[in-house]
Amino acid sequence: MKICHLTLFIIAAVFFLAVIYLALDEHPFSVNAQVNITAVVISNCGNGVIDSGEQCDGSNLNSQTCEGLGFTGGTLSCSYCAFDTSGCTGPTRPSSSGGGYIPQLSTVIFEGKASPKSTVTLLKDAQIAGTTIAGEDANFQITISGLSGGSYIFSVYSEDTEYKKSSLLTFYIYVTSGATTKVSGVFIAPTIAVDKSEAEKGQDLLLFGSTAPKADIQIFIKSKEKEFSVDTIADNEGKYKYSLNTGTLDFEQYQATAIAFINNLPSNLSKIIYFIVGKKTVFKGPLPECPLIGDFNNDCLVNLIDFSILIYWFDRPNPPAEIDLSPDGRIDLVDFSIMAYYWTG
């Protein structure tokens, strides 16, 4: 009898434990693969020879055409030793030959110059794909892996050691399945800032920023009535400054933007900053100037979260004033455009 009782109890206990085990047998879902950041040797982009990792070099397209990449026509060109398909028409994808399909993953490598010790951020389709720190020589390298073949929009920008962010430099790149694409010779725009949002006429106004060491800087200053440029040179640490005498300027608002040159090769244009020549002096606050324009959640970034906040209010009545970037009492494409200009990913 006792043995039967014991057997029954054991059976029940085993059954209960089995139920528990099956219920607890979770099947964790692996998060998708992450992108990698590695270092790569800088190639000799611009020598007209297709070196290892380069798709093309200058006018040498390695006999490739738009049609060869799967487009319907157009003109293929070369930018930073990678195919520039912005001149190709009607991209199409080749049909599969059937059977099981295993996508071949690709890698893209970006290398170039920013400002020394700046944080360089790479965006893939406007979202952060990787970051790295530029060296003391201002050189940087970022690798992104695990990509499927196709057209991508990559952007790079830097944030210097004084928290100033550069403008975005954007690339349209066709990534070949299973291959490594190298984009070399990238020269990120200088950062630019001004010490006063308003300068009393006659006072000096300081324009400053960071770029590659010893780069030549040209600063374009423009108002409704006037347009001129001034030159300066970055020091050994990549810092530049220009003291602008406002005595000869009219009472109005001005905008300034800068471009850097190394060996006559230009960077892209910097962000546009504004200042006023007026009757009083107003100093700007310390950097970083957070929140940025479009940075609704005050995390010093303008990204998908902020975009989603704007989407929430799209076509809704009475949007909050702090979200209305235009400001015109409604959220429309203009607000999104302003946000896109200040985008950081």
Q: Which of residues 67-96 bind another protein (CB under 8 A)?
A: 72, 74, 86-96
* SS3 at position 11: helix
Please tell me the count of residues contacting another protein according to CB under 8 A: 81
CB atoms within 10 A of CB 65: 14
Per-residue mark of binding to another protein, 216-235 (x: CB under 8 A): --------------------
Enumerate residues 6+ apart whose C-beta is below 8 A from 137. Answer: 116, 213
Does 337 contact another protein by CB under 8 A? yes
Site of tokens 């951020």: 121
Do residues 154 and 110 touch, judged by C-beta distance below 8 A?
Answer: yes
Does 26 contact another protein by CB under 8 A? yes
- Degrees (nearest 5) of the Cα angle 211, 154, 262? 25
Q: Provide, rounded to whole angstroms, the least separation between the CB of residue 235 and another protein.
A: 29
Do residues 50 and 62 touch, judged by C-beta distance below 8 A?
Answer: yes
Per-residue mark of binding to another protein, 280-299 (x: CB under 8 A): -------------x--xx--
Q: Provide, rounded to whole angstroms, the least separation between the CB of residue 314 and another protein.
A: 6
Phi first, then psi, for residue 271 (nearest 5°) are: -65, 160
Token output for 277: 């020549």
Phi first, then psi, for residue 118 (nearest 5°) are: -80, 160
**Cα distances (Å, whole numbers) of residue 305 to 98, 296, 301:** 40, 8, 9
Shorter beta-carbon distance to another protein: residue 285 or 321: 321
Q: Provide, rounded to whole angstroms, the least separation between the CB of residue 95 and another protein.
A: 5
Shorter beta-carbon distance to another protein: residue 45 or 168: 168
Question: Segment near another protein (CB under 8 A), from 32-40, 43-51, 131-139, 179-187?
Answer: 32-40
Q: Provide, rounded to whole angstroms, the least separation between the CB of residue 234 and another protein.
A: 24
Does 261 contact another protein by CB under 8 A? no
Question: Segment near another protein (CB under 8 A), from 53-61, 110-118, 141-149, 219-227?
Answer: 141-149
CA–CA separation, 132 vs 165, rounded Å? 14
Does 279 contact another protein by CB under 8 A? no
Does 335 contact another protein by CB under 8 A? yes
Q: Which of 163, 220, 261, 336 binds another protein (CB under 8 A)?
A: 336
Site for another protein in 157-216 (CB under 8 A): 168-170, 172
Which stretches within the chain are classed as H helix? 2-24, 304-313, 333-341
Shorter beta-carbon distance to another protein: residue 31 or 279: 31
Site of tokens 């990204």: 303
Does 309 contact another protein by CB under 8 A? yes
Site of tokens 């003109």: 75
Does 27 contact another protein by CB under 8 A? yes
Q: CB-based burial of residue 214 (10 Å sphere; 0-12 exposed, 13-18 middle, 19+ buried)? A: middle
Does 19 contact another protein by CB under 8 A? yes
Do residues 294 and 325 touch, judged by C-beta distance below 8 A?
Answer: yes
Does 3 contact another protein by CB under 8 A? no
Does 143 contact another protein by CB under 8 A? no
CA–CA separation, 314 vs 321, rounded Å? 13
Question: Segment near another protein (CB under 8 A), from 18-26, 47-55, 114-122, 193-201?
Answer: 18-26
- 277 forms beta bridges with 199
Question: Segment near another protein (CB under 8 A), from 23-31, 52-60, 180-188, 222-230?
Answer: 23-31
Shorter beta-carbon distance to another protein: residue 33 or 236: 33
Shorter beta-carbon distance to another protein: residue 69 or 277: 69
